Structure 1
Amino acid sequence: MKNNYILALASAFFFFGSVGVKAQTILDEDFETENTDAENNITRPVAVEEGWTTIDSYSGSELRYKWSNYYSDKGTIGGKHVAMCDGPISADFAPEAAKPREEILLSPELDLNNTYQLSFDWKVSPVAATAKSMYDLQVRVVVDGDVANAETIFSIQNKEDVKESGVSEWPLSTWDTHTSKLDLSDWKGKKIKLAFVYKMYTTIANIVYLDNVKVKKFTPATSPVAKLNKTTYSYGDVYIGEKFYSDAFTLTNTGLKGLQITSVDLPEGVGLTIDPSAVNLDKAQSVKFNVSYTASITSSATPKVVLHTNGGDLTINLKANKKMAPDGLTEETFEVAFPPAGWQNDGWSKSNGGLEGDVSVYASGSYRDQYITSPRLDLTKGGKVQFTYYNQYDTEETDEDGNGVAQSNDITLDLSTDGGKTWKAVWTFDYKKGTYGETTTVDLGTATDNSYVRWHNTAIKSNDGDVDPYSSFYLDRVFLPALYGQEGTPFAATLVAPADSLTNVYNQNIELKWGPALFAEGYKLYVGTSENVYNVVDGLDLKDALSYTLATAEYETMYYWKAGQTHQIELSVNSLSK
């Protein structure tokens, strides 16, 4: 007797729970009918649940030109069945269907005794956006059975409707599946039917697929609502002074239009790739951005970014494993100048986008070898070089057997221990890896204090005008062993412009430029009208700038100038005649 009583209670509780769930969803149609005949894959009835009806304007015998159920073993949207309606791609195929017309699929009657939301999946052809073959998928709300005066609440030909429903693509240029969500709150307290309307505007069109039609209870948004696709990011190991960017964050407005970022809390060393004040998102609109992190002695290893919006505050939790640079190594990130102080370049280029920071250097296809060479190294106590690289190789070429063709260029790290007279490869990229990147370390061994390393991209060949496939090789975050002379006097800067003793120079906005000096901390500028007399600019501290614009100069006057390091006297003296 006791056991039976417990069973009765359990059954009553389960029944109560089922009613509660059902009340939240008043329509759930996936169109998964029993038909599995691949030969006869367009059938009726259209839907599984009772109460669905159609209003057909097409009077012909082909079911595809009116709302029907379509079966595909491979699936079209969700399961193996969808609702569909089609239009002829040529008026000759089906004259009775080749005209402006409407085909209507009506849902069962729905009692909107609360606030509800309609959601549905759909797919259309890109030709829907073409004037010659324009057609439409509309949603209308039918009250009291008055189909003729039903209100249209969605149309794929209305940009605002599409965007407001949560679909970002516009115009519709793909066969992608989309999910739209529509607020039915305006009909709270009424009994309605939903009309899904296939509408042809001309004599040709294409297909509409419809699936997963649901009407669920929900709470409508009353303001913009901010949402992030993720709220954490880890940068991994970051050496002091380095800068890294996160993967993309996506900020989406899931509420009413007009989402704005009112302010941002940015800790030391953290930045954003967007202008927060320019963000103003419509409903369902998104914006992508990255978060940068620059490690310093005082920057937090676990900073938090807070986006204050009119749709709620959002917090991004960041993490970095801050590290000091490896002992005895000097890092080059190519951020300040290219080529950097002490480096020599022959054919490599600067890339706007870094493996670290904002800049990398790279070599790509060339009919001659390309080199980028380090400053002079002191390897009398041995040394290692560490660097980060990314080899990008994209080709569709295949050989006679259909196998992919390997890149034709080789990438090597070469070492010279005799001042650059002879070289040998101490590391070679494994071309079999294709597109690949990593941070690697190469032991250079013990050698002379007149040693150099260079990254070498070999030349490609042309066979009767056909160029062999090649990769692009990106280099960044280079750690070099002991540099020759790093404990002594800074090296000389190099003259860039204007040329020494240049004459007939226009006397307005004269740009003085010099190359970086190895080990220099900054530069001071001296300009005068007599040698060693600097009566125009006398020791102006330019920090780490590598140029200065002289606003004006006197005609028929010889000028002398020099750029000196802030903790060392002049590097060079040059003159220009006005």
Structure 2
Amino acid sequence: MKKIVFTLALAAGLSVSAHAQKKVLLNEDFSSVEVNYEAHYAPLSLPGWQINSSIENPENPMKWCVYASGTTTNVNNVAYIDRLYSAGITKFSGELYTPLLDLDDSYQLSYQWEASPVGLDSSHPYDFQVKVVEDGTDIADAAVIWDFTDPEMLLESGVAPNAQGQLWSGWQFHTSKIDLTPWKGKKVRVAFLYKANTDRANCIMLDNVKVEQFDAATTPLAQFSQNSWNFGDVYIGSKMYSQVLTLTNTGTNGLSITSVDVPDGFGVQSDRDLSAISLKKNEEAKIQIYYAPQLTSAAQGNIVFHGNFPDVSIAVSATKKQVPAGGLFEGFESDAFPPAGWTASKWRTTAAGIEGDRAAIPNAYYQEPNYLQSPRIDGTAGPVTIEFSYADLYGGEQEGGADTSVRLKFSSDGGATWSVVDTYDYNDPYNEIIRKSYTRSANSDNCYWRFDWSLDYYDSETGAEAGQFYLDAVVLNNVYGANGAPSQANAVSPADGATGIFNRGVTLQWEPAQFASGYKLYAGTDAAATNLVNGKDLGNALSYELPALDYNTTYYWKVEPYNSKGTPGNIAVWRFTTIADPTVSTLPWRESFDNAVPPAGWNMTSDGTSYWAKNEISPYDGAASAMANPRSEGNTTILETPDVLLPADTPAFLTFYWGDGVAVSLLKPDTGVAENTTNGSDGISDLSFEIYDNGTWTQLALLSDKNNPYWIRERIDLAPYAGKRVAFRWVYKYYDYMNARGACIDNLTVELQADEKLSFNIDGWDAGKMNYNDVFTTSETISVINDGATDAEIASVTFANPNFSTSLRPGDIIASGKALTFTVTADAADAGKNLDDNLTITTKAGSTASFPVKAQVLAKDVRFFGFEDGKNGDLSVKDLTFIDADNKPAISLAFVDYPHRGDKIAFMVINYTLTDWPNPYPRTGKQCLVTFGPY
């Protein structure tokens, strides 16, 4: 027996002591009221019951009444209230009070209710609530103890969300139970409250209202949907699961589990961690029990759950079976596929709950060879048998079932010819787990079983309806060579003879060898493959990562499978050659990703089909960027630079632009510098920037912020690594494939640090044509960026021409790695003059930077309207008069967004860079006038 502590969420049911005979204060099913079935309704006139309404003299059913539901032969009376559409009243309320109840002990209220699914609408078309009103008090002073839109109140009353996630199902009765113990010793009435809020209000049906003495739970109580499970026959070495069991807390809030006692060979798993579980009253958790027997495992026992509730248990049992001598059991649980000795075309493994955690399935590629073939079978040792489980899943509506089938075939001549043993198609059950067994006789030691998937029918217009075939728990006998040494292993990566292999992170991989219990690895630059790794025993591992290797060097390696019978003879030696030395030794070093991703000398690795690739759509700059593409198979991809030699005497900066999303969705910041606002992982995907130093990768920045829509400029101070050989990498990893959007990087630069390094976010400013005596100030964002190691203080700002001025002032600080925004103003005081100048910044340290500015001042008798001095969306322009002649709403353009969309307008100023409608490109500048036809 083993104890599992704080790992699983499990429990089981108990009962509590009860009164010998429960006292019932109220038990009303409304059947005593006579209702004319044709009339449907009758007054709710019962002793002690009271009715109130917010409207005067309401007719049925706009007040609580009795409704005869059901059929003429099976009438069921219920309390009822509904909005009467013919009355023309939208908002009203009705109250139904029980007789006065003397709660001299602990009592429980129970009632059945039914409502329209309209009640689930978040706009609350109507409400249904319950209050407990103490004798002598007003209902307005009583709290709502139950509401059919309150998730917690519903759950505590025993109404759980349905399979679609809705709080309850419309048009079916639900039973709610409420503990009245808080009112023990008081006289009360229970009030059922109905309120119509809109013309969509619908009915409430109420039945079987009961107030009964009960023993209120004082602790959490655990109850399982089943208290025993028999696994039946289970092969040693396999793993079988129970059905999903439901754990419900039928006691007070806060059920938690501290430990679970589990017989050897058995185990449990749940939909959440034990340490995090805290079940409210009537809340559920899902668990499964599994059995993974070994020779010495128990075959029966009790799984006992401990927590803040009385211990409970589930009885478990199974019958262990042993694989026959010379046979094998295959559950397809390994990461390697096909398994050792098997061959496959277009098959793979996937998560499944037949046996263990995975099963084999065909990929279902139309008309292509698609099979899974067993290891070689020796028929000379006697009849050969195959046993397996399968499930053929199909959810289509096609009357004849799926257009696909799987055939089990047998060959006794090494696969030269095949005979069909059985076919699994529309003639067999769908969506069930089925166990099959077949036997064949053949005087041959070269036999095979094979599963062939095929497409039997294809409609050129509608395509095919495919089923999904799951294969698992295969048992074979008389496997050829089962009592001998293992077979040879085959190299997977690097391929034998491969060249141009990146020198870091080289992982040797090989296919599993049949009958191997372990592997020894040899690797080196010598032909014997011994001077790097010499016979290292790796157990049953199928891969090994080598340390960083030398450039332009040939390496040899081999894998020696072994078992108790020995090793195979004549083990093959494989080889590969690393890339020529791509080390970066001269700075500055820049990579734009315009030519290829990965660039020459770089390395890209991927887990499955996620990968880094060249992206030519909306890069930050140039022709392309590097983009990480998430795919459903494999959630990690890495882009890695070659080595970089950093000088010892002068530190360096590394900069690059990145965005958390596809490039087309990213915006360029107006200032030229958007800051990294990452505050930990967002749980969807991360981009990690790391440095390689002295054999270790270290994260320097986490780049994960889906709320930041900009290309972000990341700057890393490499001073701590001066004089070292380093490398860099970007690791993209997603956790939520459905919401992962990928990531981009662009314009990588490694350069020596300077104290001050000033630049501007744009190349210059042109005020364009200006009317005489106009004054125009820049509307776009202009910034000066300091890429130096120290803050820069402005000493002077100068123009050669007095017609220009700026908001920059001496004493302004441009922080290291930051941007300082400013404006430039042009004064058209000189008619007919072309102004061409430079804004020159000089810092106290002596650095200078120049920003070109210009303007064309028109003659005094010329008037020009370029609309650059207005704002996006302006409906008026200085010196122009707009007249909306039709005075009608303008047509609304579909799929675009812009100011005053659909409003009454004459003309409007549009800046194409500031709207979701980029079509109106002006001939000059960024703004122009637009107008629309009437709607």
Q: Is the 8 A contact 1:460 1:470 kept in 2?
A: no
Count residues in correspondence.
544
Q: TM-score, normalised by structure 2?
A: 0.55
Q: Which residues of 2 match residues 150-549 of structure 1 at below 5 A?
A: 150-169=142-161, 171-172=166-167, 174-175=169-170, 176-274=172-270, 275-326=273-324, 328-336=326-334, 337-363=336-362, 365-368=364-367, 369-380=369-380, 381-397=382-398, 404-429=399-424, 431-435=426-430, 436-549=432-545
Distance 2:158 2:342 in 1: 52
How many angstroms does 1:253 deviate by? 1.4
Distance 2:407 2:474 in 1: 15
Q: 1:110 aligns with which of 82, 101, 110?
A: 101
Deviation readout 1:515-565 (Å, 9 max, x if unpaired):
111111111222212121422222222221111222422222222222211
Q: Is the 8 A contact 1:38 1:73 kept in 2?
A: no
Deviation readout 1:232-275 (Å, 9 max, x if unpaired):
10000112112111112222112221111111112222222223
Residue aligning to 1:63: 60
Worse-matched range after superposition: 111-120 or 24-33: 24-33
How many angstroms does 1:60 deviate by? 6.3
Distance 2:262 2:111 in 1: 40
Partner of 1:73, secondary structure, is strand
The code of the aligned residue for 2:403 comes to S
Partner of 1:432, secondary structure, is coil
Distance 1:557 1:62 in 2: 96
1:141 has 2:139 as partner: no
Distance 2:494 2:279 in 1: 49
Distance 1:79 1:299 in 2: 59
Task: Call closer, same or farther: CA 1:484–1:218 in 2, change over 3 Å.
Answer: same
Task: Call closer, same or farther: CA 1:25–1:575 in 2, change over 3 Å.
Answer: same
Distance 1:530 1:37 in 2: 102
How many angstroms does 1:514 deviate by? 1.0
Distance 1:566 1:225 in 2: 54
Q: Is the 8 A contact 2:44 2:64 kept in 1?
A: no
Partner of 2:417, secondary structure, is coil
Partner of 2:152, secondary structure, is helix
Partner of 1:281, secondary structure, is coil
Q: Is the 8 A contact 2:230 2:316 kept in 1?
A: yes
How many angstroms does 1:430 deviate by? 6.0
Q: Is the 8 A contact 2:486 2:562 kept in 1?
A: no
Task: Call closer, same or farther: CA 1:79–1:396 in 2, change over 3 Å.
Answer: farther
How many angstroms does 1:450 deviate by? 1.5
Partner of 1:186, secondary structure, is helix
Q: Is the 8 A contact 2:377 2:384 kept in 1?
A: no
Partner of 2:61, secondary structure, is helix
How many angstroms does 1:93 deviate by? 4.6
Partner of 1:463, secondary structure, is coil
Deviation readout 1:145-197 (Å, 9 max, x if unpaired):
43343332112233332222222227536315332221211211111111000
Residue aligning to 2:11: none
Task: Call closer, same or farther: CA 1:157–1:479 in 2, change over 3 Å.
Answer: closer
Partner of 2:455, secondary structure, is coil
Distance 1:309 1:415 in 2: 54
Residue aligning to 1:11: none
Distance 2:330 2:263 in 1: 26
Residue aligning to 1:30: 29
Q: Kindly report the root-mean-square deviation, in angstroms, between the aligned alpha carbons of the 2 structures.
A: 2.5
How many angstroms does 1:42 deviate by? 2.7
The code of the aligned residue for 1:561 comes to W
How many angstroms does 1:294 deviate by? 0.7
Q: Is the 8 A contact 2:521 2:534 kept in 1?
A: yes
How many angstroms does 1:330 deviate by? 2.2
Q: Is the 8 A contact 2:326 2:479 kept in 1?
A: no
Q: Is the 8 A contact 2:110 2:177 kept in 1?
A: yes
How many angstroms does 1:79 deviate by? 7.8
The code of the aligned residue for 1:353 comes to A
Residue aligning to 1:87: 83
How many angstroms does 1:319 deviate by? 0.5
Q: Is the 8 A contact 2:112 2:206 kept in 1?
A: yes
Residue aligning to 2:572: 572
How many angstroms does 1:290 deviate by? 0.1
Distance 2:71 2:303 in 1: 45
Task: Call closer, same or farther: CA 1:410–1:152 in 2, change over 3 Å.
Answer: closer
How many angstroms does 1:287 deviate by? 0.2
Answer 1 or 2: higher relative contact order, Cα 8 Å, separation at least 6. 1
How many angstroms does 1:133 deviate by? 4.3
Task: Call closer, same or farther: CA 1:315–1:132 in 2, change over 3 Å.
Answer: closer
How many angstroms does 1:328 deviate by? 4.9
Distance 1:37 1:412 in 2: 64
Q: Is the 8 A contact 2:386 2:437 kept in 1?
A: yes
Distance 1:374 1:256 in 2: 55
How many angstroms does 1:428 deviate by? 2.4
The code of the aligned residue for 1:285 comes to E
Partner of 1:456, secondary structure, is strand
How many angstroms does 1:106 deviate by? 0.6
Deviation readout 1:475-525 (Å, 9 max, x if unpaired):
111122312222333112222112222222222222221111111111122
Task: Call closer, same or farther: CA 1:308–1:388 in 2, change over 3 Å.
Answer: same
Residue aligning to 2:38: 39
Q: Is the 8 A contact 1:348 1:371 kept in 2?
A: yes
How many angstroms does 1:35 deviate by? 4.2
Distance 1:276 1:81 in 2: 46
How many angstroms does 1:198 deviate by? 0.7
Task: Call closer, same or farther: CA 1:79–1:446 in 2, change over 3 Å.
Answer: farther
Distance 1:328 1:522 in 2: 19
1:555 has 2:551 as partner: yes
More helix by share: 1
Task: Call closer, same or farther: CA 1:555–1:215 in 2, change over 3 Å.
Answer: same
Q: Is the 8 A contact 2:400 2:426 kept in 1?
A: no
- Structure with larger Rg: 2
Distance 2:526 2:386 in 1: 47
The code of the aligned residue for 2:66 comes to N
Identity of aligned residues (%): 39
How many angstroms does 1:72 deviate by? 2.2
Task: Call closer, same or farther: CA 1:510–1:320 in 2, change over 3 Å.
Answer: same
The code of the aligned residue for 1:239 comes to Y
Q: Structure 1: where are the runs of 5+ without partners?
A: 1-18, 398-403
Deviation readout 1:78-108 (Å, 9 max, x if unpaired):
98232222236xxx75422x01x32101101
